[in-house]
Structures are given as C-alpha cells and as structure tokens.
Amino acid sequence: MAKPAELHFFIDPNRCIGCQACVQACTECDTHRGESMIHLEFIDRAASTQTVPVVCMHCEQPTCAEVCPADAIKRTGDGVVQSARKPRCIACGNCVVACPFGVPELYEDRQIMMKCDMCYDRTSVGKKPMCATVCPSQALFFGTLDQIGQLRPLSEPVNQFRFGHQVISTRVFMMMPGGLVGHRPLVDVTAAMQDRPRERAIRLTPATTDPFSQVEV
Amino acid sequence: MATLPVDELKIIERFGPHQSAMTGVRLSTSTEPERLVKTHCCFCGQQCGVQLKVRDNQVIGFEPWEEFPFNRGMLCPKGVKRYLQGAHPDRLTTAVGRDSSSPHGFSPLPYNEAIARVAGEIARIQQVHGPAAFALLSGASLTTEKTYLMGKFARVCLRTPYIDYNGRLCMVSAGAANKKAFGIDRTTNPWSDMVGTEVVWVAGSNVAECSPITTNYLWQAREQGARIIVQDPRITPVARTCDLYLPVRPGRDAALFAGVLNLMIEHGWIDRDFTETMTVGFDEVAAYCRQWPVSRTADVTGVPERSLRQAAEWWGTAKTSFLFHARGIEHHSNGVQNALGTINLVLATGRIGKPKSGYGTITGQANGQGGREHGQKCDQLPGWRDISNPDHRRHIAAIWGIDEKDLPGPGVDAYELFRKIDAGEIKGLLSLCFNPIVSLPDNAFIRRCLEKLEFYVAIDFFLNDTARYADIVLPGSLQEEDEGTVTQVEGRVIKINKAIECPGEARQDWRIIQDLAHALGRPHGFTFSGPREIFDELRRASKGGVADYSGITYEKIDAQMGVFWPCYSEDPRTGLAIDHAGTPRLFEPGSYNPVARGEGPFYFPDGRARFNVAEYRPAVDDVSAEYPLFLTTGRVVSQFLSGTQTRRIGPLVKQYPEPRIEMHPRLAERLGIADSDWTTVETRRGAITLQAMVVTTIRPDTIFIPYHWAGPKSANQLTVAAQDPISKIPQYKVCGCRVRKADAAPAYAAVREPQQ
Amino acid sequence: MRPPREQRRAAVWGGLVTAVLAALIVAGSRNLNHFDAALVGYTFATLFAAFAITYRYSMWLQRPPTRMYWRRGWSVFLTPRFIGGNLVEAVRRLTLSFAANRFIFRRGRLRGAAHWLIMWGCVLAAAITFPLVWGWIHFETVPGRLDRYQIYLFGFPAQSFAVHSVIGFVIFHGLVWSALLVIAGVMLAFRRRMVDHAAVSLQQFAQDVMPLLLLFAISVTGLMLTASYTWMKGYAYDFLAILHAITVILTLLYLPFGKLFHIFQRPAQIGVSFYKDAGSREPAARCRRCGMAYAPAMMVRDLIGVERDLGFAYEMDAADGAAHYQEICPRCRRAMFGLAQAGAWSEGLTARLAGDKD
C-alpha cells in the first residue's frame, strides 16, 4: 500500500508553540515506537519562545540517499524517503551530516540511522501522520493542496529550498506568507545564516522588537 | 489529625510520585487493541476527543478521534500521554489507613472496614460537634454526575453547609462576572465563531500552554484576516507572533480595560444603539473610565500609549470580534472586576450573541464549566440555582425528597473552610479530586490546618500530596474507569465513556460516596445504580434553572457529538415537550430565555445585559521597597494543576522536569544570577529555592514560577491568600517578592527526584 | 547513465573472481577427480553468483561515498601506528557484531533471535556444501578400516573419524542441524513480519518475504531428502533432489540482487568503525554558525568531496571566502530552516501592521 498521492504534508513553523505534542505523539508511531523522529527546536530559548518543528522533507533527490555508502536509504514510489534499510545501514552517519534539513539521527547502539518516514504505517493505510494529526497549532498539517488553500489564504505552500548554490525540491511544503509579501518561489535557508530569534516576531516601532525596553529593573 | 505518620520521603518511596513509562504492551508494535473507546482527555477544559486503545482491561495507547468537532484529532502532549496514568505502580488498589508503625506510613485496609471506619468517624464528629463540623472538598475534574452527587451528599446525607470545590481556584471570577453582566455563566459562542472575526483579544491566557487546542482557532482566525491582541506579562508563544502585544504589569488589568474603553468613548467607537437598547449601566462605567486617560493608563499598566491606542482602534472599529480570558486576569483579588472590564469592552461594541462575535472564558479543569453549575459550590444548588433563594430551595428539596428546612444554607469558600478548620469549627474533612496542599496559596497555613483536623479522609486513585495527611484514603477511580458527562469550554456537554474496570478494590467515586451514605445509615437518595440514573435526576433537578440540562440525554450527546446547554425538555415559552438540540450560541437577537421571558436575550427580567463599573484596585501585598519584584505563577504545557497525575507520567516529567524561576536577563544581571543558578525567592509567606531560567520573554520587573510541584518545590509556599471579595478566588497571579542567588543547592535536590 | 567504464571495470573484476574460483575448483578437486558430476548445476550457479556478486560489489564500490569509505577505511585500518590495536579491535568487533549479532538484538529481541538463527544456519550450511560442491572436501573410508572415514581437504588428508561415533553422526547430519536453525529463524522472522505493525507496513514481497521463502524452501526440501533416505527407503528421492537443487540454485541466482546481498555489504560496518576511530582522534569540525563541535573534521571534508563528486552545489558565498553548507551543524540547519520562514512572516505581518497606519 502507499500514501495517497493527493495528500501532502505542510509545515508552518510560525504557528508552532513548542508544546511538543508532536514529539510525544511521534513516539507512538509503530515504525519507531518509543523514539521520536521529529525535531522540535527551541531556536534560542533565552532570547525567544520561537520554536521550529522539523520532519523529513522527503526530497525529490534525497542528499541522504545519494551520500549513503550502503545504498540503505530508499524512496518509495509514493515519494516517501524511508528510514535506512536495517540490513544495509552501516551507521556511518553520512546522512546525518549531509541532510540539508538536519533530519536523520544515528543510533549507535543499534547501528542504524532512523528518521521520520511520514508515519508510513499510518499514511500507507490512509491515516494521517501522528504529529500532524495531534499538532494543536496545526503548524504541521496533512491534507490536500485544495484544503490548505482554503484554510490559509494568507499562506502559500513552497517546496523549493536554497542552500548555498543548491536548490532542493521536496515533497513536504513550507507555508510562506504569500498573501502578505507576495509570491516567493523558494525559501532561502542560507540567507537566514545571520538571523537570530527575536522576543517578538513583529515590530511595533521600527527600532526594537523588545517590548520591555522601557521597563525599569 | 497530626503531622505526617512517617518521614515524607518514606511515604514517597512507596506511594510516589514515580514515573510511568512506555513498557510491555504499551511499547509493543505488535499488540492489537481489543477495542477503541471514544472518550475525552481527562485533563483540561478543552476536553479534546480521543480514542483509547484497550486490551486486557488496560489502556495501552490512543488513536486520534478526528471526527470530534472541537479538536478534530488534535491533542496536546498531556492528551497524547494521558494513557500512561493507568496500570501505574503508584495506583491505590486498596484503601489505606494511617499507620506510623508501617515503614511507609500507611497500611492496606479491607474496603468495607475502611468505609465503616470513615462512617464511624463522621458520625462521631457530627454527634459531638454538630453536623457543620464535617466538611467536604470536591473538584471540577469530576464528571457532572459526581459533582451533583457530592453536593447532594453534603446537604442531604451529611447535612453540612460546608462543601466547596477547587473551581474556587479556577473559574469563580469569570463565573461571578458573567452572572453580574449576563445573568448566565457560560461562554457565549462556540469556538468556531472565532474564525472569521476581525479581531481576537486574548486577555491573560497562555493559550499555547494552558489550552493548546485553542491555538489553531487563533491562527485560523488570523489566516482569515483577524488581528490577534494578547495581553500578558510574559511573551508567551502566542504573544510572540500575535499582531499586538500588551505587556501588562501584573495586577493592572482592570486599569487597562478602563483605559482602552475610555479611548473608545473618546473616539466614538461605541455601539450606542446597543448600549441604549440592550444594556443597563453604561453611563456609570463611562464616568469611571474617564479617570483613565491614556497617559495614566500607560503609567499604571506599563503598556505603551501607542499600544493602548492601537488596541482601542482595532477593538473599537471592528465589525466582528471575539474576546476571551483566563486565569491571567481572574487569579486576582480584583479578579471579578478584571473580568467585568473585558465584558464592558464587549458590551460597548454590541458584538455579542452573533455569528462571528462572542465572548468566552477558558475553563481550566476538565469540567470547569459543568462543575460550577450543579451544586458543589458552597452557595449553589443544581441547575445554577441559589441555595439562599427560597423557590430554588423548595424545588431541589422536592426533587431530593426532603423537607426544605432540612436543607443547609450557604457554606463558605474552600479557603475560608480551612480558616474554619484553623479556628476549630470544622473538625473533620473529606476530599475528592482536590490537592489543596499544592494548589492553595500560602500552603504552610494549609499544612497547619490539616494537622489540626481530628479526622481526614481522602478519595483518590493515587496517594496525592495532601492525602499523606489523611487518616484513611479510599481508592477512587480514574476518569477512564467510569462514565458520565462533563461540560467543556464552549458549554458543550459531552460524554466520558468507560474504557476499563477499576483495579483491585478501587471503586468508582460515586459508589464510594453511596457506600458511605449507607454505612452512615442514611441511604435515602443514594441508591443510584449508575451515572445514567444520577444524570436523569440531575436533568430533573436542573429543569427550570438557568443551567437547564433537562433535554440532554446520553444518546443525544452521542448523536450530536455534544449538546450545548441550556437544552430544554419543555419549550420554556409554551411548556410543551420539545426535542431541543441545545443552544450553541447565547444571546442571539430574538432569543427566548426563562428569566427574561421574551423581554430580551440576556438572563435578567428586563432581558438586558449589565454594565458594571470594573474598578481597578491595587493588588494585596503588591510590590514594595522590601519586596520589589512581581511574582506571578502559572502552568507549563506538560503538567496539569497539582500534578497528581502528570507528575506520574514519565514522558511528561521529562519534558519539563522541575519548576524553574523565569527572569529577564537584565534582572538576572543585576542580581548576579546566571541561567541554571540556584536562586531563592522570598515573599512574606516563605521562601523557595529553584534553578533560574534566564529569558528575555518576561517583564524585567516580574518573575514567573509554575505551580505544579509539591513540598519544597511548591510555588504556593510563596503566594498570598488574598481573595477576591466577590468570587473568593485567590490572588495567584501577583504578589511582591525578592530574589537572590542561593548560597548552595537546596537539601531536597539530593534526595528527591524531579517530580517528587 | 553510469559511465560504461565502471561497468567494464566491474565486469573485469567479476570475470577475474569467477575465473579464480573456477581454477580453485579444478585445483581443489584435483582436476575434477573428486568433483561430483551430480552437483554440476550447483557449481555453475555458484560461478554465476560469484560473477554477479563481484560485479555488483565492484559497481557498489565505485559509487562516490562507498569508494571514499573503502579507501579511507583501509588506509586508516592499515595505518602502521594503529595496525596492532586495529587487528585486536577487528576481532572483538567481528565477534560482537557478526558472531553475536549484538546490534541486531538491540534493534529487537525477536528480530535478533531470528537473524542469529538464520545466519548461523546459513553459515554452517555454506561451510559444508560449498566445499562439497566444489570438490574441495571429500570422504574416503580408511583403507582396511570400513568403520572409519578419512576427510580430504583440497585433496590432502585431514582428520579421520569413526562412522558410527557421535562425531560421525554430527558431521553427516550437519545440514540437518543447519536446516533446523534456519527453519526456526525463518519461523520467528515470519511471526514478526505478520504481527509487527512496522514490518507489515514497510515490507515488500521481493525484498523481505522472498528471501525467507527461499531459505525456508531450501531447508525443508533438504530435510525431506534426509527423511526420505533415513526413514522412507529413498521414497521420491530423485524428485526431492531436483526440487532441492532448484531452490538452492534460485537462491544463488537471487543472492546478488536481493536483500541477501547485505551479507557482502555488511562487513563495511567494521571499516566504518575504524574510520570513526580515526575521525575521533583529530579535532572535530565546529559549526560555522554556532561554533559547536558536531562531527569529525575528516568526515566533513570527505563528505564535501563526495557531494562534489555527486554533483551537489552546497557551496555558499561567505564573507570570509568560500564556504560550504556542510560546515553548519544539523541543529543550526534546523534553526535556519525555521528562521528563514519566520523572517518572511515577520516582514509580512509587520508590513500589514504598518499598512494600518498609512
């Protein structure tokens, strides 16, 4: 069985509230029960509550698979990049260091790389992935392009990402504010190299994002 | 009775809290559940629908329930891991009795013997000191059936006026404000009405952590064009990306609302037509608000003028809106005034009782709504009736088959009840679903009171932190071991379904209460065979009251996936039997209610809503030269209330193991404190030493401590027992404190696990 | 399209290995004197498998990441300073990983038990049958002693043993024991594949089920042969022999293409472990963004080379000269992923707010 072709995964980190429902739910998934495959990063908790959930983006041409010396990472016909094949993976860690999104994790004790496989035990039988089902902010969403279009007129799904000179196309979409800043064909990840999280995402005065700048200690 | 039977660590060693984990069948990837039980999460007032996987009388996992309309499968981490509270090593499967000769302070008792002893003690205390010498504390996480039974048990079996519940720490400010303004106490609109509005105002609610599912409604509203305003002393996750953030100084909310309303009046952003035809009292409110010009408001609240103006403009000029508030503005000795301040903002615009325009209070506990409607409050009878109202008393006495004169009068609030224990008026106590030594403010006082009791019996599934002081603990039921209804945040009555049987000698709480009534020789009215029979009596009792449940049946709840009360069995207009679907939206133009009788949509005889002057009063024990910083308390997403359950669920403990003191880096720098340093906070009540968490997301004049932990980690060692004069809610959200770097790690750090 | 040069090279290697094997068969069976003509089908199947496995192995080694690890693995293993320790470590790691399957047991007890049984069953069977098929081993009665057998290895006499001794029974039924091990392992594996939700969703017939079926078929038909000549006076022996030969030959032909190829790939795990040892001896790469160590510097350098070979362009234009995206740690990559999107939203929402003022 395979994931229905019309169903896609969408990520909107701007919605994320860092609650970790996705992390807790991910451990319930049968392909890696007890281990969470989703990354929820507090980018810099001292500076901000900003968080980003990262699942496998399921690249069209997965760097992880290309750099795997053991041919252990396979992409199924429905576009899902699977966790490493257990008989083959030799736990070298190339995929971990190569993945542009920082997704795979190495489990040295078991000599295996594991990563998000879009809850293949669920999606292959028509269910939604655990994380996207439970996500209370719907920063993680699983559905059709029509559905997301109707629900989120401010947003636009984008699935091209720039890393240096390399552009990667993925099966998973990132929700960009197309309705606010206009169409952008790709997300320039390396342009955010110098960005740091801010207290507030929105500037009330152009000068500062710190709403407490006037508060005396 | 006395101090703890043995050293607290010895009790903890046997009774926990210990952490559960995914092990055995709960880790297995090859175990098929025997069945899926559609029910709801046991924790907060959002009451997300969830399906529990059951096998061999054990909950082994969950499956999202995507059809349930409120949460559509969404769950927070607590909902995901709630199933790990079952089959727990700490579970009480027998009654236990205090026994200082036992190494762990308690030894098992046969259930019948325990019941007989409890009944004997109740009878003795009431014989010697009178019926009012025995008190009950109940909870808002119980099903409505149980809360109804507890109210009835107090008044009919024990004949004591002294019953109150832990909603006193939660929903009473909102409830009192709603009663004063609308004559009914319920969120006015279903949450779906939030999506499609022009502006949503979130007043004092850390939605992301305390009611996470509401986040999606907020972001959906924004996607459809809404501006989001968040008012909070901390930049919570939702405050980080909202459109307008009002960084209010703790305890200044009423001033903020008055100032904003004043700006709206100045600019003419008032729906005069509505205030004149549908409300009473606007002029008095307007007169009060004139004391709050924007500059003074900014000075007092700490919110920049520009932000206040922006809020007033957005709120004043919108055509549709939603405002909701939670404990952030309610946990104050000025809590009712704060809530009334928000209602005044809503009424001034006339945006209520319409699609895409409403007002709501986010309930905290599972049954924060239903638990405050049917008689476990000290001054209340079922159907949101008043225990001091002769008509109401007669109606309920008739249902209960007793003489109205035998029905006790109003009691006192939960905190006052402890003061009566302290004064020696109350000698015996029964608690169910309440952990006051963690959850009440200034809990050193609570400990002293517990030590003064002649007899204390607790009903719980775990030996909670307060139950360590009990003489006898009766083994109660987990939510999944019983059925019944609860009323969630929107006023939607939903059905909790039983998934498994109680283990060992544990019993459903309603059985325990009935067993006590029988052992006391007063079984009259306590012969229910199950929750369905209790609910049927509750329906009749609530009939004709404001919270009318008479038209609700378990079958209707199943068929409609919830029923919004009021739901009538007879048309209030004609008195004829009807099949009423319920009332998703209150106050719609032309709507009929039994109080106004067609005069208007609000629940007063003239059908009009009330403006109330919402006066700003400084907090009790406010900041001072001696205690110069604000202390505020609240929740984290992975824990729930006093942590009796969540501090026993391993994955949730690991997510946020121990309380930390949030402070701004500028404050930390001045105090010479670095992140993770042991830090001592002192108030007039006591001191606490925890690790610091240095973050820019809190006002530099404020520190925050989450309150889910017990003993030396309990934030409520610090909080002040000041209460709102109307609602009696304690002032958890503000008091003066001082902070310093600790000399050394506290003694507990070496001997207690994070959750203990 | 793979350059034909690589395929030619693989074909040459395949031919070479096949030729060497053929020569060894001739030499080991003393010019085919001890070669059992009945086993010729098996022999050709092994020769084909040798060619195909070598061909595929060679193709595999020519992939940039594998080539890198192959070269680096050997060079770090053979570094004179560490060769002694490496040899000791190699024995230890081979014992733990391969003899004991420790890492597989850690992946799951049932999985570990199934694999361990199948593996040892196959190893034992291969150790017996391949030398027999190739004529490298044969038995003769000791002259004058009809109750004793002499083992000949590569034509040289080795041990002798009594026919009716325990050791004789054990040796003559070696394939029975291996079949029982394999069948037990296959049963466990099938059980897992039937009840484990992860296995059910991920398994593919050709990849995961077929090899188990083949091993099962070999073992069962082999046991039936034994049963036939032991208890049934050779009933249907010829038919069973052909059936058995077919299952074995099919498996040998499947060997280079399917899941069982991991038998030949897996030793790379040991090479990788020595590569990691070498990496840990030199300073770690530090993230260009956060400054934290995240991987061995050698690995990052090598990977950059591999990515170039593969045609990726992760080079970045940095102020301080050429930079590569690999020089950013995975955690910072995730952070940048979030920050890149957040930046756009901040811009958009702030602009909307400003728009209100205009």
How would CATH label the architecture of B96-170+368-481+505-523? Answer: 3-Layer(aba) Sandwich (3.40)
Q: Give every residue of chain B whose pLDDT is below 50, as ranges.
A: none
Residue C1 pLDDT grade (very low, low, confident, very high; cuts 50, 70, 90): low
When the candidates are 2.40.40.20, 3.30.420.10, 3.90.1170.50, 3.40.50.300, the CATH number that belongs to B629-751 is 2.40.40.20
Test the C interface: residue of A163, A166, A168, A209 with most C CBs within 10 Å: A163
In contact, B140 and B544? CB cutoff 8 Å: no
Q: What angle do CA B650, B656, B657 make, to 5 degrees?
A: 65
Q: Pick the closest to residue A201 from A14, A72, A9 (CA basis).
A: A14
Chain C residues 254-283 with a CB less than 8 Å from chain A: 259, 262, 265-266, 268-269, 272, 275-276
pLDDT of residue C234: 83
Q: How far apart are the C-alpha atoms of B300 and A150, rounded to whole Å?
A: 43
Residue C358 pLDDT grade (very low, low, confident, very high; cuts 50, 70, 90): very low
Residue of B nearest to A178 (CA): B223
pLDDT digits (tens, 9 = 90+) for B88-123: 999 999 999 999 999 999 999 999 999 999 999 999
Mean pLDDT of A140-168: 96
Residue C155 pLDDT grade (very low, low, confident, very high; cuts 50, 70, 90): confident
Q: How far apart are the C-alpha atoms of C223 and B100, rounded to whole Å?
A: 69
pTM: 0.95
Q: How far apart are the C-alpha atoms of B529 and B509, rounded to whole Å?
A: 13
Residue type, position B53, single letter = K
Mean pLDDT of A86-113: 94
| Mean pLDDT estimate for chain C | 90
Tell whether C349 lies on the interface with B, counting CB pairs under 8 A: yes
Domain B172-361 superfamily per CATH: Dimethylsulfoxide Reductase, domain 2 (3.40.228.10)
Q: How far apart are the C-alpha atoms of A124 and C201, rounded to whole Å?
A: 7
Tell whether C146 lies on the interface with B, counting CB pairs under 8 A: no
Q: What is the largest CA-CA distance in chain B?
A: 74
- CATH number at B8-85: 3.30.200.210
Residue C38 pLDDT grade (very low, low, confident, very high; cuts 50, 70, 90): confident
> Which of C103, C332, C340 is the closest to A187 by Cβ?
C340
Q: Is the dihedral of CA B682, B687, B693, B699 positive or negative?
A: negative
Looking at the predicted structure, is the pLDDT value of residue C154 above 90?
A: no
**Please, is B590 exposed, middle or buried when counting C-beta atoms within 10 Å of its C-beta (0-12, 13-18, 19+)?**
exposed
Q: How far apart are the C-alpha atoms of A183 and A165, rounded to whole Å?
A: 21
pLDDT digits (tens, 9 = 90+) for C81-112: 989 999 999 999 999 999 999 999 999 999 99
Q: What angle do CA B683, B689, B691 make, to 5 degrees?
A: 125
Q: How far apart are the C-alpha atoms of A138 and A17, rounded to whole Å?
A: 10
Contact B30 C353 (CB under 8 A): no
Provide the ipTM.
0.96
Mean pLDDT of A186-212: 84
Per the structure block, which two tokens stand in for A33?
């029960």
pLDDT of residue C168: 82
What is the DSSP pairing of strand B687-694 with strand B660-663?
parallel
Q: Classify residue B425 by its DSSP letter.
A: S
- Cα–Cα distance list, A78 to A122, A157, B282, C205 (Å): 14, 19, 63, 17
Q: Pick the closest to residue C227 from C180, C288, C274, C285 (CA basis).
A: C180
pLDDT of residue A211: 87
Radius of gyration of chain A (CA): 18
- From chain B, the residues in CB contact with A128 under 8 A are 64, 66, 73
Phi then psi for residue A178, to 5 deg, are: -60, -35
For B337-348, b/e burial (b = at least 16 CB within 10 A) is: bbbbbbbbbbbb
How would CATH label the architecture of A8-192? Answer: 2-Layer Sandwich (3.30)
Torsion on CA atoms C97, C99, C105, C106, rounded to nearest 10: -20
C: neighbours with 3+ CB pairs under 8 Å? Answer: A, B
- From chain A, the residues in CB contact with C349 under 8 A are 177, 180, 201-202
Q: Strand ranges (DSSP E) for B425-533?
A: 428-432, 455-460, 472-475, 484-487, 492-496
Residue A204 pLDDT grade (very low, low, confident, very high; cuts 50, 70, 90): low
Neighbours of A103 (CB within 10 A): 26
Residue A206 pLDDT grade (very low, low, confident, very high; cuts 50, 70, 90): low
Asked if omega into A53 is within 30° of 0 (cis), the reply is no
Q: Pick the closest to residue B197 from B243, B256, B249, B241 (CA basis).
A: B243
**Could you give the 3-state DSSP secondary structure of residue B247?**
coil
- From chain C, the residues in CB contact with A82 under 8 A are 202
Q: How far apart are the C-alpha atoms of B361 and B191, rounded to whole Å?
A: 11
Neighbours of C174 (CB within 10 A): 14
Phi then psi for residue A128, to 5 deg, are: -85, 155
pLDDT of residue B64: 97
> Which of A13, A164, A203 is the closest to C316 by Cβ?
A164
Phi then psi for residue C323, to 5 deg, are: -140, 165
* Contacts of residue A91, Cβ cutoff 8 Å, sequence gap at least 6: A106, A107, A108, A111, A112, A113, C269, C272
- From chain B, the residues in CB contact with C196 under 8 A are 29-30
Concatenating the DSSP letter of every residue in chain A gives ----TT-EEEE-GGG-----HHHHHHTT-TTSTTS---EEEES-TTT---EEEE----BSS-HHHHT-TT----B-TTSPBPPPPTTT-----HHHHH-TT---EEEGGGTEEE---S-HHHHTTTPPPHHHHH-TT-SEEEE-HHHHHHH-TT-EEEEEEEETTEEEEEEEEEEE-HHHH---S-EESGGGTT----S-SS-SBTTBS-TTTT---
Tell whether B29 lies on the interface with C, counting CB pairs under 8 A: yes
Mean pLDDT of A21-42: 95
Residue C36 pLDDT grade (very low, low, confident, very high; cuts 50, 70, 90): confident
Phi then psi for residue B287, to 5 deg, are: -65, -40
Q: How far apart are the C-alpha atoms of B269 and B352, rounded to whole Å?
A: 16
Residue of B nearest to A52 (CA): B237
- Cα–Cα distance list, B194 to B348, B621, B628 (Å): 19, 37, 39
Residue A153 pLDDT grade (very low, low, confident, very high; cuts 50, 70, 90): very high
Q: Is the dihedral of CA B28, B34, B38, B43 positive or negative?
A: negative
